Amino acid sequence: MANPQKENGYTAVANELLEQIMKISLNGTQFRIVLAVWRYTYGFRRTAHTLPLSYIAEKIEASKGQVQNALDQLIKKKIIEIVEDSKGGRKLSVNKNYDEWDSKETMVPATAVLKPPKPKKVAKKKVYEKDNSYYKMAVYFHNLVKTVAKEAGIEHLISRANLQTWADDFRKLVELEKVDKRLAKDVMDWVVTDDFWRTNILSASTFRKQFAKLAMKMASQKKPSQPIKQIDSRDKDIEFQQWVARGGDPNDFNWN
């Protein structure tokens, strides 16, 4: 059983110093270093002593790296002083003038405290019921495309079409791109008859992306061409007779 006796040695530290060191915010390694410096200075009735890092590390049973970091902080706080620096080690002492001690604890600014990231809101996919107008548009166009694909021998390309995503593309076409539903249907009916586009538009997504081009092509094909008016030579003869009847000079008549 341990039975320490003052007669076997003691360290005389002023109560005033002990009371002050109690108030300082030190971590465990820093506090043990202060005790070690007191032990090997005041414990031998001296105010300073050469204490290599390896020696302190051995006495407080810590790594040399821990001692180095903690001792640097104590020196920075002006609690430990370097009395003399030599190759054999630094001569250290505890600074008795506790008014010089830096008692401020290193604090992390409130603004620097990292807040846990807010969980990302997962967008809930809209589900289109069978009676929804956009779903009906998807079914209608899918049936048109399916017929074309079957004729072209590429039915497998649309066999697994997701009508929910098709419906969402039609919703975007109508609500975001402001396309009239009746116009959309007209273009659907037309695109499956066009020799070029019928096998190139096999999904609602492609239909939506190419809609403006498809609508313009459809409109250009449906616009009736204006017949070129042929000038009848007999009209000029009638105009000439009217010109002369009104007293005009036959030589001044414009036959063009």
Q: What are the tens digits of pLDDT across the range 17-40?
A: 899 899 888 999 999 999 999 999
Residues 48, 81: Cα–Cα separation, whole Å: 9
Amino acid at 118: K
Class of domain 10-103: mainly alpha
Residue 175 per-residue DSSP state: I
**82 has which bridge partners?**
92
Flag whether pLDDT at 48 surpasses 80: yes
Q: Return the H-helix or E-strand segment holding 83.
A: strand 80-86
Would you kindly state where each structural domain of the chain is located, as residue ranges?
A: 10-103, 133-222
Residue with tokens 């108030």: 23
pLDDT: is 12 or 105 the higher one?
12
Look at residue 230 in the predicted model and tell me its pLDDT: 60
Pick from 201, 110, 132, 118: which is nearest to 161 by CA? 201
pLDDT: is 237 or 97 the higher one?
97
Contact 41, 11 (CB under 8 A): no
Residues sharing a CB contact under 8 Å with residue 16, sequence separation 6 or more, in sequence order: 98
Contact 190, 196 (CB under 8 A): no
Q: How far is CA 168 from CA 157, 178, 193, 204, in A?
A: 20, 14, 24, 9
Residues 250, 73: Cα–Cα separation, whole Å: 120
Look at residue 238 in the predicted model and tell me its pLDDT: 80
Look at residue 158 in the predicted model and tell me its pLDDT: 85
The band of 231, judged by pLDDT with boundaries at 50, 70 and 90, is: low
Flag whether pLDDT at 185 surpasses 60: yes
The band of 166, judged by pLDDT with boundaries at 50, 70 and 90, is: very high
> What would the pLDDT profile of 114-150 be if each residue is shown by its tens digit?
567 777 777 778 899 999 999 999 999 999 999 998 8
CA end-to-end span of the chain, whole Å?
137
Amino acid at 39: R
Give residue 153's region: left, alpha or beta (phi > 0; psi -120 to 50).
left
The most confident of the ranges 11-15, 123-127, 219-223 is 11-15
The whole-model pTM stands at 0.43
Residues 211, 169: Cα–Cα separation, whole Å: 11
Q: How far is CA 99 from CA 21, 76, 151, in A?
A: 11, 14, 96
pLDDT: is 152 or 253 the higher one?
152
Angle of helix 181-191 versus helix 211-222 axis, rounded to 10: 80
Look at residue 109 in the predicted model and tell me its pLDDT: 44
Amino acid at 24: I
Mean pLDDT, range 100-110, rounded to an integer:
63
Look at residue 112 in the predicted model and tell me its pLDDT: 43
